[in-house]
Amino acid sequence: MKSLRLVVVLSSLCILISGHSERERLHDLMFKYPLIDGHNDLALQLRRFYNNELSQVDLHNVTKFATDINRLRAGHVQAQMFAVYVMCGAQEKDAVRLTLEQIDVVRRMCTEYQEFELVTSVQGLRNSEMKHKIACLISIEGGHSIDSSLPTLRMFYLLGVRSMSLTHSCNTPWKVIVFQRENNSLTHFGKAVVEEMNRLGMIVDLSHTAWDTASAVLKHSKAPVIFSHSSSYFICHHHRNVPDWILLELRKNRGVIMVNFHRNFITFRDKANISHVADHFDHIKKLIGAESIGIGADFEGAVSFPQGLDDVSKYPDLIQELLQRNWTENEVANILRGNFLRVFEEVERVRDQLSLNQPSEVQIPVEEVQNPCRLVLRPPKPKEHRQSSSSRAHHGPKGLLILAIGLLLSSFFMDE
């Protein structure tokens, strides 16, 4: 009996020690390779709940959100791509103004809190890691934010935007399509948008685009692209997920798909858990390799998350699941940050190669925009050559009669 108790005690002790060593290994791994997450809609919630008045909220601890500074620290998040999103209903109205206001709130948030740091480059990301800051990258979610204007796109870049998804839940006039339909190819202007993003060094994001549109962009872009918050269609047949044939094109492009945690994109079951999320990672890894995967959880944008992944502090639990599925530390390190850094570096390299190219002056035809609120300035019509009335008076019978009377009166007064 005593020997049996001893075996139970020793077994329990081994399990305890093993569990402790696994947690230590996990902590060390994520401390060495802290996460870069591809998509978070905190800015949207700041507008919804606080009208962008940062003075009304303490971002260290926000219980009504899934994101705050304390939990970002707990989740080993070193860099966050904060989405700037405005509703599609603003597309033919004030989308540009609303986008500017959302850029403003992200910039304020990331400069007024000392734990954050606004960054705009790969080197900035690395510097912020050395300073133990949470780096903020700004991404526009939806091409409708630029109002079909390349100068607007360039101005957003100057304000710090380094990524843009070409569409959201509405089609743009330049054939960036979210809904599957015939003729999903890019227009001439749509290609110009991709080319200008390549020239600027802005990451092209294909989440939300229709599959044929995504394929057209993958073939046209000179730089790698990302799906900032999408999952595997093979595992969960949702139109927002990416089918295998597109993933194979993504591998050729050297891009990255950053897996979304939204429950509806993970499984059609009523409940989802960490294991279901890991299934997406496993399938994508098997198909195109771990070097093509990242994490874009979609916190604050999605409304429901798998059990165990309900806020930004829970990333370590997913990483632990992957390690238990025999993912190597190098593979995990790459999905945590290495793959995104590689894509961003290559985007900057393409930018440098195109540095001698002048800003694009391609404009979308007015008939393609069909925006009743869009003011179009046209050059004035040339004025018709008109003779003065006095000049016309010297021609024709009436003019000659007036001239004769004038001469007679002049002669009469001179005789006086």
| Catalytic positions | 39, 41, 141, 168, 208, 229, 298
User: Distance between CA atoms of 58 and 284, rounded to whole angstroms?
Assistant: 38
157 Cβ contact list (under 8 Å, min separation 6)? 200, 201, 202
- Rounded-to-10 torsion of CA 345, 348, 353, 357: 170
The SS3 call for residue 205 is strand
- The answer for 298, left when phi > 0, alpha when psi is -120 to 50, beta otherwise, is left
Residues written for the chain = 416
Q: Is 26 exposed, middle or buried (0-12, 13-18, 19+ CB in 10 A)?
A: middle
The number of C-alpha atoms within 13 Å of 26 and in the hemisphere containing its C-beta is: 20
Computed from CA positions of residues 338, 230, 42, 314, in that sequence, does the dihedral angle turn out positive or negative? Answer: negative
Backbone angles phi, psi at 272, to 5 degrees: -135, 155
User: Distance between CA atoms of 172 and 165, rounded to whole angstroms?
Assistant: 12
Helix (H) or strand (E) holding 315: helix 315-324
- Rounded-to-10 torsion of CA 369, 373, 378, 380: 150
Structure tokens at 328: 């190597």
CB 322 within 8 A of CB 310: no
CB 43 within 8 A of CB 98: no
DSSP assigned state of 307: B
Helix (H) or strand (E) holding 56: none
CB 53 within 8 A of CB 153: no
Instruction: Give the Cβ contact number of residue 290 at 10 Å.
Output: 21
254 Cβ contact list (under 8 Å, min separation 6)? 224, 342, 343, 346
Structure tokens at 62: 């926000």
